[in-house]
């Protein structure tokens, strides 16, 4: 049984609204890179448009300044867009200066935060301490990117889950999954949330599929494609 909450990760309006109709999707996350790839040029207008339809599930929008004072201003503006909005704050700026003081200030003001781009356990500890147990918040570990370096992210996520449990308002996110198996792994180790892109979400019906049946489906696919292509030897 999958216990982890599945959040759809993306910035394509059609995909987001289609997934909003799916009760398995419990929330949404975006980021500036996804928005750029989706061709979005007006950040606030896009957010306003999406929030007109998605009002009752968490949705994260990220600040994009590299200066903490401006990040704070943007965070407060984004937070004002709706009660279901979480503000994504990067764990540091581009100069590797940690965001912990900003995170602490915003958390103490009651801003719902999603601290993003975390990849070390030391960052988890400092972020969790800065968030405390104020407003609901997310600690987002980029497990897929960690795995891309050849490191198994699971041991870190297990420890991170223990750290987050000390503050009931904190939820751990398995971010940047690479395959459907990651949803099962996230559920088994006690992650609260996993953010999943639409291409992986399409595979959800495969969870629990009989492997003998799946093997036969694969054989039929190969045979059907060879026949359709008209291959001859």
Burial class (CB in 10 A: 0-12, 13-18, 19+), 136: middle
With respect to residue 25, please indicate whether it lies within any of the assigned structural domains: yes
What pLDDT is attached to residue 1?
82
What pLDDT is attached to residue 146?
98
What pLDDT is attached to residue 179?
96
The Cα 105–Cα 206 span in angstroms is 43
pLDDT digit string, tens, across residues 147-168: 999 999 999 999 999 999 999 9
| Number of domains present in the structure of the chain | 1
With respect to residue 190, please indicate whether it lies within any of the assigned structural domains: yes
With respect to residue 31, please indicate whether it lies within any of the assigned structural domains: yes
- 195: which strand partners? 7
With respect to residue 89, please indicate whether it lies within any of the assigned structural domains: yes
With respect to residue 220, please indicate whether it lies within any of the assigned structural domains: no
The angle formed by the CA atoms of residues 34, 68 and 75, to the nearest 5 degrees, is: 55
pLDDT digit string, tens, across residues 5-47: 999 999 999 999 999 999 999 999 999 999 999 999 999 999 9
Residue with tokens 């104020």: 134
pLDDT in single tens digits along all 233 residues of the chain: 899 999 999 999 999 999 999 999 999 999 999 999 999 999 999 999 999 999 999 999 999 999 999 999 999 999 999 999 999 999 999 999 999 999 999 999 999 999 999 999 999 999 999 999 999 999 999 999 999 999 999 999 999 999 999 999 999 999 999 999 999 999 999 999 999 999 999 999 999 999 999 999 999 999 999 999 999 99
Domain that holds residue 196: 5-206
Q: What is the pTM of this model?
A: 0.94
CATH number at residue 141: 3.20.20.70
With respect to residue 22, please indicate whether it lies within any of the assigned structural domains: yes
Residue 83: helix, strand or coil by DSSP? coil
The Cα 214–Cα 207 span in angstroms is 11
With respect to residue 164, please indicate whether it lies within any of the assigned structural domains: yes
Residue with tokens 């359709």: 228
With respect to residue 218, please indicate whether it lies within any of the assigned structural domains: no
The Cα 159–Cα 134 span in angstroms is 21
Tokens of 172: 């751990």
> What is the helix (H) or strand (E) element at residue 85, kind and residue range?
strand 85-90
Residue with tokens 């289609």: 18
Tokens of 93: 């700026």
- Rg of the chain, C-alpha, whole Å: 20
């Amino acid at each position: 049984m999958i216990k982890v909450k599945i959040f759809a990760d993306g910035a394509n309006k059609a995909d987001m609204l289609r997934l909003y109709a799916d009760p398995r999707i419990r929330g949404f996350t975006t980021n500036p890179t996804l928005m750029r790839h989706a061709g979005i040029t007006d950040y606030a207008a896009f957010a306003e448009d999406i929030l007109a339809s998605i009002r009752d599930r968490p949705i994260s929008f990220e600040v994009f300044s590299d200066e903490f004072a401006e990040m704070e201003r943007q965070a407060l503006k984004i937070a004002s867009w709706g009660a279901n909005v979480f503000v994504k704050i990067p764990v540091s700026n581009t100069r590797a200066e940690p965001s912990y003081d900003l995170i602490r200030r915003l958390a103490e003001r009651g801003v719902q935060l999603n601290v993003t781009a975390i990849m070390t356990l030391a960052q988890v500890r400092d972020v969790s301490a800065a968030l405390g147990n104020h407003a609901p918040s997310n600690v987002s570990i980029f497990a897929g990117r960690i795995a891309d370096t050849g490191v198994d992210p699971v041991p870190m996520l297990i420890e991170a889950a223990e750290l987050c449990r000390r503050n009931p308002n904190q939820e751990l996110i398995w971010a940047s999954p690479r395959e459907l198996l990651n949803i099962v792994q996230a559920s088994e180790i006690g992650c609260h949330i996993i953010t999943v892109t639409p291409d992986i979400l399409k595979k959800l019906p495969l969870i629990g599929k009989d492997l003998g049946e799946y093997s036969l489906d694969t054989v039929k696919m190969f045979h059907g494609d060879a026949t359709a292509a008209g291959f001859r030897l």
